Amino acid sequence: MTAPGLDAQTTRLRFLLETVALESEHLRTTDGRLFSVPFTADRAKALRTDDDLSERLDAFVARFSRLQDTAGDKLLPALLVRLGEPVGSVLDNLERAARLGLLAEGSEAWLAARALRNRMVHEYIRKPEALAEAVTGAHDAVPMLVAFAERCTRYARERRLI
């Protein structure tokens, strides 16, 4: 259902901006809890016996993945549509976002974060060192994801797109 006085594109963009703001908040909270101490290979090995740590890691991976999916696969195309820009491949959209000043780190950093996400899922049980490296890399990418969401919101507001 479209809000009174708003077209479907504007309503969707507003919804997605609100969603990524909430997802960012949840990710920051989980990130803070998981990384109150560094995530090392020893902590990764403890996942077999430490249910609280395991659940925190699962929440981190899920929230990291969800924010990246929502922001990159849904919000960015919706913002481009609202701007009257063409929507292309993920890489094309990310490069357009970088040119618009929404992704200061560039498309390569976003794609690297996507690869980390896949490594976190696939290295979960078998290779504690690889998991620790991937999780720490994702932790380092959290500010990029959150900043992207915040820049999109600011950009949309400044241009009165929502």
Domain region containing 68: 8-158
Q: How do the pLDDT tens digits run along the chain, 162 residues long?
A: 555 556 999 999 999 999 999 999 999 999 999 999 999 999 999 999 999 999 999 999 999 999 999 999 999 999 999 999 999 999 999 999 999 999 999 999 999 999 998 888 876 667 899 999 999 999 999 999 999 999 999 999 999 999
Decide if 2 is inside a domain: no
Q: How far is CA 39 from CA 15, 45, 70, 100, in A?
A: 34, 10, 26, 34
Q: Which residues of 123-141 are buried (b: 16+ CB within 10 A; e: fewer)?
A: bbeeebebbbbbbebbbeb
Decide if 148 is inside a domain: yes
Decide if 125 is inside a domain: yes
CB 103 within 8 A of CB 155: no
Decide if 139 is inside a domain: yes
Instruction: Specify the pTM.
Output: 0.92
Decide if 1 is inside a domain: no
Which DSSP string corresponds to 98-138? HHTTS-TT-HHHHHHHHHHHHHHHHTTTT-HHHHHHHHHHH
Decide if 33 is inside a domain: yes
Q: Looking at the 3D structure of the chain, how many domains does it have?
A: 1
